[in-house]
Amino acid sequence: MTEKIKQTLKDSPLMRWFIMVLVSGLTFSTYWFQDFFSGLKPLMESQMGITSTQYGTLIGLTTIANVFGMIIVGGIILDKWGIRITGVVFGAIATIGSALTALGAAGILTSSNSGKLTVMIIGRILFGTGLEVTCVVVLRALVKWFKGYELALAMAISMGFGRLGSALGTALSPDIANGNVPTAVYFAASLIGISLIMYLVYLMFDVKID
């Protein structure tokens, strides 16, 4: 019975592509959050008093964990823990990091501009810690579902979701902010939360094929 369910799910093109959409939500949202600040830089300078140097620090430190090998460590963890636990753990880290960035931008934890920037940097570092690993998890999930089928196409489309998120985040964030930086940051953080929920939905199907 288990083998029959597995074959039925993976042999269904509709199910495979539905799975691709579910897991690619993480790719879309994390790429959005990675790059959306570039559309807000002038507003951040005028509204939050952030200088170009401070802005560069905020963006540059996002992937500092990966400079020290987090992506490699994440790959080792993925091999040991599998896509379920690894995806949830690092997806949650990215979500918490994005939420902390939003709280910092809104001045909820501190009201000073320097304090806001510090909280945002910590949030971005946390986000960056989960960012690259979740993208690897997505690729691993696609291999699981598309091996022997349209694997290269699925990977290409999933990567396209990421590039789309990056482009839309940059282009639409000024309009979403509407003169208020925290609004755009909350929106971007919410996208990651929604994509994590989508991944949890995917895990129900992942359990079935195993």
Looking at residue 42, what is its pLDDT? 94
pLDDT of residue 1: 46
C-alpha 154: how far from chain center = 18
User: For residue 151, which of 56, 29, 17, 23 has the smallest C-alpha distance?
Assistant: 17
Mind listing the pLDDT tens digit of every residue in the chain (210 residues)?
Answer: 455 554 668 888 999 999 999 999 999 999 999 999 999 999 999 999 999 999 999 999 998 988 788 889 999 999 999 999 999 999 999 999 999 999 999 999 988 888 999 999 999 999 999 998 999 999 999 999 999 899 999 999 999 999 999 999 999 999 999 999 999 999 999 999 999 999 999 999 999 887
Q: How far is CA 74 from CA 86, 162, 186, 201, in A?
A: 8, 19, 27, 22
Give CA–CA dist 111/91, Å, rounded.
Answer: 28
pTM here? 0.92
Those residues with Cβ within 8 angstroms of residue 91's Cβ, 6 or more apart along the chain or in another chain: 26, 130, 134, 137, 192, 195, 196, 199
Please say whether the beta carbons of 90 and 137 come within 8 A: yes
